[in-house]
Structure 1
Amino acid sequence: MSWQKELEELRAREALAEQMGGADKVARQHSRGKMDARARLAAFCDEGSFREIGKIAGKGHYDENGDLTGVTPAPFLFGKATVNGRPVVATADDFTIRGGAADAGIARKMVQAETMAHELKLPIIRMIDGTGGGGSVKTLEQIGATYIPAVPGWGDVVQNLDTVPVVALALGPTAGLGAARTVASHYSIMVRGLSQLFAAGPAVVDAMGSDYEGPKDPGEAKEALGGVDIHTRNGVVDDEVASEAEAFARARHFLSFMPEHVGQLARRAASGDPVDRREDALLSLVPHDAKQVYSMRRAMDMILDRGTVFEIGKHWGRAAITALARLDGYPVAVIGSDPSYLGGSWEAKTSEKVERFVKLADQFRLPIVHLVDNPGFMIGREAELAGTIRYGVQAMNAIYRARVPLASIVMRRAYGIAGSAMSNADRYQYRFCWPSGDWGSLPIAGGLEVAYKSELEASDDPAAELAAIKQRLDKVTSPFRSAERFNVEDIIDPRDTRPLLCEFAELAWRKLGSE
C-alpha cells in the first residue's frame, strides 16, 4: 500500500501556497509596480537554487466533514538558496497576505529563518514588504486580551548581526517590526517610489494626535513621512535604487565582498587590472589652491581596481565616502574624505557613518584604506548642538579598536583630532603622504591672528606683518620638514599610490590568513 493519496494532498497544499493571497491580491501587488514574494526570491537567488522551507505552513480551512477547502498561506517565505554560488538563507514577506503581517500562530517560521542563519553560519537576506509583526488593534478582540509587547526570536536577529552578513531590502511600506528588521542589518536598501519606512504609518500618526500634518493623499503621506529622501539622508537606510532589479543586483554585489560568516575570510577575485598601473592624472589632482576642491571619487576610481568601487551610504554623512572595493583582487574597505562637502570636515553624521563602516570592516576582517583630506571636525554652534565631538571621538575610537590592517594616504589636509583619526598611532603606521600634504593641530589660517596677536597690534602695518608671518610659516609647514623628523614615513609620487596600496593589500591578507 503506497502513500500516493497523501502525496497528492501535499501537492495540492503546495499548489494552494503558490497562489499566495489569491489572484486578485497578487494582481493588485503587481499593479503597484511591485513583484510578488515568490518572484522576488526567484529573481534574487541563483537560478533554480531556492529550496523553500515550510511551504505549506499557514491556516487551513475545512468543511463540516473536516476536509480541506482552502489555505491561507503564511505571509513569510524562507529557504536555503545560493547567491553568487554561495549558500544563504533567503526570506521574503508576502504583502498579498495580511499586508505581510505575520500570524502569531506561525511566528516560529520567521524565528527559524533567523536561527538557521547563525547556527549554520549562512548570510541572511530579508526582502521586507509590510509590517512583519502580528499585532493590530483588531487582533486584540480576537485574542480577548492585550499583552505586554515582546518580539519572539529577536535574540536571533541580534546574534545574526554578530555572526553573519545580514542584508535587508525594503520593498514596500515597512512599519513597526518590518522597519526594525530593515534597520537590524549590515546593509540596507530602499527603492525610490516603492519603499517607505516608519515606526508607525500616517494613519496611526494622525490618530495619535501628532502635530505633524502630512499630505492627504495616502501615497504622498507615506513618502512624506518615511520615504527614500528621509531615510537615506539620515543614515537609517544605507542606499537607494530605482527598481527592485537594481536592489537585487546591489545586494548581490555587497555579498560578493563579504565572507559567509564571521571568522571566515572574504574571497579574492580575479583582477585584470595591473598592480603597477600609474595614473598621470593623479599628479595634478589636488589643486595648489587650498580653497579649491577636487573629486575624491575620481581618485578612488584611478587608485582601486577598475570597476570595483561599491559605495555605501552616498547620501548621508557626505563629508566621508565609504566604499567596498578591491586591490589586486583583494577586498578592502575604503574611507575617503570628500572636500566638495563641508570642505571634508567631519560633522556628527559623517562621524557616525565612519564609525559604523569601520566596525563593519573590522567585524568581517576587511583591511581598511583611508584616503585623507580632513580639515578637522566641523566647528560652530550647529556643530556643537549636534554633539559633533562625541560622535567624532566615537569614530576615532572605532579606528583605534579595529584589529584589521589599515593603510592611510594623506592626500592633503590632516588637522586636529579628526585628522589624527586617520589611523591608530599606537600601532605601526602604514602611511604614505602626497607632496600636497598639509597638517597640524590647527589650520594656519585659523590660528595666525590669535597666535601673533601682540606682534600684529604692535606693527605699523598689520596686514604686511601678517603676510610676512604667513610667508615664513609656509616654509615651516612644508611636508618635507615633517619627513626630515620622520613625523611622516614617506612622501610619494601620487602616481605610485596604487602599486603601494596593492602591496599593502597583499601583506594585509597574508597577515589575516595566518590568524
Structure 2
Amino acid sequence: MSWERELEELRKREELAEQMGGPEKVARQHGRGKMDARARLNAICDEGSFREIGKVAGNATYDENGDLVSVLPAPFLFGKATVHGRPVVATADDFTIRGGAADAGIKRKMVQAEQMAHELKLPIIKMIDGTGGGGSVKTLEMIGATYIPAVPGWGDTVKNLDTVPVVALALGPTAGLGAARVAASHYSIMVRGLSQIFAAGPAVVDGLGESYKGSDDHARAKEELGGSDIHTRNGVVDDEVASEAEAFARARHFLAFMPEHVGQLARRSNCTDPVYRREEALLSLVPREDKQVYSMRRCMDMVFDQGTVFEIGKMWGRAAITALARLDGWPVAVVASDPSFLGGSWDAKTSEKVERFVKLADQFRLPIVHLVDNPGFMIGREAEMAGTIRYGVQAMNAIYKATVPLASIVLRRAYGIAGSAMSNADLYQYRFCWPSGDWGSLPIAGGLEVAYKSELVAADDPEALLEEIKERLNKVTSPFRSAERFNVEDIIDPRDTRPLLCEFADLAWRKLNSD
C-alpha cells in the first residue's frame, strides 16, 4: 500500500497554487507591465534556488462530498533561497489575489517568514505589491464588527531590523501596512512609474476631503500622491530604478556588501585593482577658487576599487553622498560631501541621511571612510525652521557612537560643528588632509568684515585694507600651519589617497576580525 493517491492530491493543489489569482488576473498583472510574484522570486534569487514554504496554503472550496474543487492561494509567497550562493528568506506579495490584501491571506505565513529570518539569521527580501493590511471598509460588514488595529508579528519585523539585513522592493501600489513594510528595511527600492507608496490611496484621501491635481486620472493620481519622485526625495525610500530587473540587480548588489546577520562579518571580494594605483587627476581635482565646485563622485571612482561604488539615497539629503564600496576587496561604507549641492552644507535632510547610514555601517560592522568638504550646517531662516541643528547633532552623535574604524580625508573645507562631525575626536584620528585643506570655527570670508569692522571704518581706503588683511590671513590659514602644531596628522599628495585608504581598510578589517 502506497501514498500515491495523496501525492496526486498534493500535486493537484500545487498546480492550483501556481495559477495564483487565475489566468485573467495574471494576464492583467502582466498587462500593467508587472511581473507576477512567482516570476519575481525566480528573477531575484539564484537560478533554481527558491524552495517555497507553505505553497498549498490558501482558501479551499469543497463539493458536497468533501472533495476539493478549487483553492485560492494565499497572496503571500515565501521560502528559502540563495543570493550569490548565500542563504536568504525570499518573499513576494501576489497582487493577483485581492490586490495582495492580508484579509485574503493567512497571517501566519508572513509571521513565519519574519521568524525564519531572525531565528535562523538569514537576510530577508520583501517584494511588496499591495496593501498587505486589513482589506477594505466592506470587510467590516463581512466580519460583523470593527476592531482595534494590531499587526500580527510586527515584533518579529523589529527583531529583523536589529539582527539581519532587510531589503524591501516596492513593486506596485503599496498602501497602509504595505507601505510600512517598505519603510521597515535597511535598503528600499521603488520602480519609477510602477511603484507608489502611501498611508492611504487616492480614493481614501479624496473621501476625507482632500483633492489634488490628477484625481480624475487614477494612475496619475497615484503617482502624484505617492510616486517615486516623492519618496526617493524625502528619504522614505532609498533608491528609484527604471525597471523590475534593475530593482532585482540592485537588491542583490546591496546584499553582496552585507554579512548574513549581525555578529558575522561581511566578505572580502577578489580585487584586481592595484592597491598602489595613483590617479594624476586627483592632483587638480579641487579648484583653487573656493567657490568653484568639483565632482566628488569622480573622486570616489578614482579612489575606491574600480566599479565597486554603490551609491544609496542619491536623490535625498543631497549635500552628502552615501555609498558602499570596496578597498582592496574589503567592503567599506562611504560618507562624502557633495560640494555641487548647497556647497556641501549639511541641511536637516542631509544630516538625517548621514545619521541613518552611519548607524547601518556600525550595525553591520563596515569600516567608514569619510571624504570631507563641509562648510558647516546650512544657515538661514529656512534651515532654522527645519530644525537643522537637531538633525545635525544627531548625525554627529551617530558618528561618535560608532564603534567601527573610521578614516577621514579632508579634501577642502571643514568648518564649525558640522566640520567637526567628520570623526570622533575623542579617539585616535585616522585622518589625512589634502594641501587644499581649509578649516576653522567659521569661514574667514564670513567673519572677516565683522572682526575688523573698526579698523575698516577708520581706514582711508577700506577696500585696500581689506585685501591686505585677507592676504595676511591666507598665510595664517595655510594647512601647513595646522600641521606644525599637529592639529592635523598628515598632509598628503592627493594621488596617495587610494594606497593610504587601502592600508586603512586592511588594518580596520584586521581589527574587526580580531574583535
2 CA distance for matches of 1:392 and 1:418? Answer: 7
Once the 2 structures are TM-superposed, how far is the Cα of residue 210 of structure 1 from its aligned partner? 2.1
Paired AA for residue 51 in structure 1: R
What's 1:442 paired with? Answer: 442
**What per-residue deviation string (whole Å, max 9, x for no partner) do you get for residues 102-160 of structure 1?**
23661010000001000000000000000011332111111110000000000000000
> Which SS does the other structure have where 1:55 is aligned?
coil
**What per-residue deviation string (whole Å, max 9, x for no partner) do you get for residues 161-189 of structure 1?**
00000000000000000000000000000
What does 1:231-310 align with in structure 2 at a 5 Å threshold?
A: 231-310=231-310
> Which SS does the other structure have where 2:504 is aligned?
helix
What's 2:409 paired with? Answer: 409
Aligned length: 515
Is the contact made by 2:322 and 2:336 (CA closer than 8 Å) also made in structure 1? Answer: yes
What's 1:44 paired with? Answer: 44
What does 1:20-31 align with in structure 2 at a 5 Å threshold?
A: 20-31=20-31
What's 1:217 paired with? Answer: 217
What's 2:400 paired with? Answer: 400
**What per-residue deviation string (whole Å, max 9, x for no partner) do you get for residues 33-60 of structure 1?**
0000000000110001000000000000
2 CA distance for matches of 1:379 and 1:161? Answer: 34
Once the 2 structures are TM-superposed, how far is the Cα of residue 215 of structure 1 from its aligned partner? 3.3
1 CA distance for matches of 2:248 and 2:264? Answer: 24
2 CA distance for matches of 1:339 and 1:352? Answer: 18
What's 1:124 paired with? Answer: 124
2 CA distance for matches of 1:134 and 1:514? Answer: 48
**What per-residue deviation string (whole Å, max 9, x for no partner) do you get for residues 390-437 of structure 1?**
000000000000000000000000000000000000000000000000
What's 1:65 paired with? Answer: 65
Paired AA for residue 421 in structure 1: A
Once the 2 structures are TM-superposed, how far is the Cα of residue 459 of structure 1 from its aligned partner? 1.1
Paired AA for residue 480 in structure 1: F
> Which SS does the other structure have where 2:249 is aligned?
helix
Is the contact made by 2:74 and 2:104 (CA closer than 8 Å) also made in structure 1? Answer: no
2 CA distance for matches of 1:65 and 1:78? Answer: 32
> Which SS does the other structure have where 1:79 is aligned?
strand
Once the 2 structures are TM-superposed, how far is the Cα of residue 212 of structure 1 from its aligned partner? 4.1
TM-score computed with the length of structure 1 as normaliser:
0.99
1 CA distance for matches of 2:230 and 2:106? Answer: 33
Paired AA for residue 237 in structure 1: V
**What per-residue deviation string (whole Å, max 9, x for no partner) do you get for residues 51-107 of structure 1?**
000000000011122111100000000000000000000000000001001236610
Is the contact made by 1:339 and 1:373 (CA closer than 8 Å) also made in structure 2? Answer: yes
Is the contact made by 1:320 and 1:344 (CA closer than 8 Å) also made in structure 2? Answer: yes
Larger mean CA deviation between 323-332 and 101-110 belongs to 101-110
> Which SS does the other structure have where 2:321 is aligned?
strand
What's 2:489 paired with? Answer: 489
Paired AA for residue 513 in structure 2: G
**What per-residue deviation string (whole Å, max 9, x for no partner) do you get for residues 216-272 of structure 1?**
110000000000100001000000000000000000000000000001000000000
> Which SS does the other structure have where 1:125 is aligned?
strand
Paired AA for residue 276 in structure 2: D
> Does the alignment pair 1:8 with 2:23?
no
What's 2:230 paired with? Answer: 230
**What per-residue deviation string (whole Å, max 9, x for no partner) do you get for residues 441-460 of structure 1?**
00000000111111111111
What does 1:284-363 align with in structure 2 at a 5 Å threshold?
A: 284-363=284-363
1 CA distance for matches of 2:393 and 2:440? Answer: 18
What's 1:386 paired with? Answer: 386
> Which SS does the other structure have where 1:423 is aligned?
coil
Q: Which runs of 5+ in 1 are unaligned?
A: none
What's 2:152 paired with? Answer: 152
Paired AA for residue 30 in structure 2: H
What does 1:27-106 align with in structure 2 at a 5 Å threshold?
A: 27-103=27-103, 106=106
Paired AA for residue 319 in structure 2: A
> Does the alignment pair 1:514 with 2:514?
yes
1 CA distance for matches of 2:399 and 2:366? Answer: 13
Is the contact made by 2:59 and 2:74 (CA closer than 8 Å) also made in structure 1? Answer: yes
**What per-residue deviation string (whole Å, max 9, x for no partner) do you get for residues 276-327 of structure 1?**
0000000000000001000000000000000000000000000000000000
2 CA distance for matches of 1:453 and 1:372? Answer: 32
What's 2:134 paired with? Answer: 134
Is the contact made by 1:74 and 1:103 (CA closer than 8 Å) also made in structure 2? Answer: no
Larger mean CA deviation between 459-468 and 234-243 belongs to 459-468
Paired AA for residue 402 in structure 2: A
2 CA distance for matches of 1:456 and 1:394? Answer: 40
> Which SS does the other structure have where 1:65 is aligned?
coil
Is the contact made by 1:163 and 1:261 (CA closer than 8 Å) also made in structure 2? Answer: yes
2 CA distance for matches of 1:208 and 1:383? Answer: 32
1 CA distance for matches of 2:8 and 2:452? Answer: 91
**What per-residue deviation string (whole Å, max 9, x for no partner) do you get for residues 359-412 of structure 1?**
000000000000000000000000000000000000000000000000000000
Paired AA for residue 273 in structure 2: D
Paired AA for residue 186 in structure 2: H
Paired AA for residue 429 in structure 1: Q
2 CA distance for matches of 1:303 and 1:46? Answer: 31
2 CA distance for matches of 1:105 and 1:502? Answer: 50
Is the contact made by 1:275 and 1:499 (CA closer than 8 Å) also made in structure 2? Answer: yes
2 CA distance for matches of 1:500 and 1:216? Answer: 59
**What per-residue deviation string (whole Å, max 9, x for no partner) do you get for residues 181-221 of structure 1?**
00000000000110000000000000111254543110000
Is the contact made by 2:348 and 2:386 (CA closer than 8 Å) also made in structure 1? Answer: yes
Q: Go from structure 1 to structure 2 and tell me whether the alpha carbon gap of 1:319 and 1:105 turns closer, same or farther (over 3 Å shift).
A: closer
> Does the alignment pair 1:166 with 2:166?
yes
> Which SS does the other structure have where 1:103 is aligned?
helix
1 CA distance for matches of 2:43 and 2:152? Answer: 29
> Which SS does the other structure have where 2:106 is aligned?
helix
Between the aligned residues of both structures, percent identity stands at 86
Paired AA for residue 226 in structure 2: G
1 CA distance for matches of 2:208 and 2:457? Answer: 62
Once the 2 structures are TM-superposed, how far is the Cα of residue 461 of structure 1 from its aligned partner? 1.3
2 CA distance for matches of 1:278 and 1:511? Answer: 26
> Which SS does the other structure have where 2:305 is aligned?
coil
What's 2:175 paired with? Answer: 175
Is the contact made by 1:214 and 1:225 (CA closer than 8 Å) also made in structure 2? Answer: no
1 CA distance for matches of 2:238 and 2:444? Answer: 36
What's 1:18 paired with? Answer: 18
Q: Go from structure 1 to structure 2 and tell me whether the alpha carbon gap of 1:401 and 1:351 turns closer, same or farther (over 3 Å shift).
A: same
1 CA distance for matches of 2:308 and 2:176? Answer: 35
Is the contact made by 2:75 and 2:93 (CA closer than 8 Å) also made in structure 1? Answer: yes
1 CA distance for matches of 2:105 and 2:505? Answer: 50
Q: CA RMSD in A?
A: 0.8
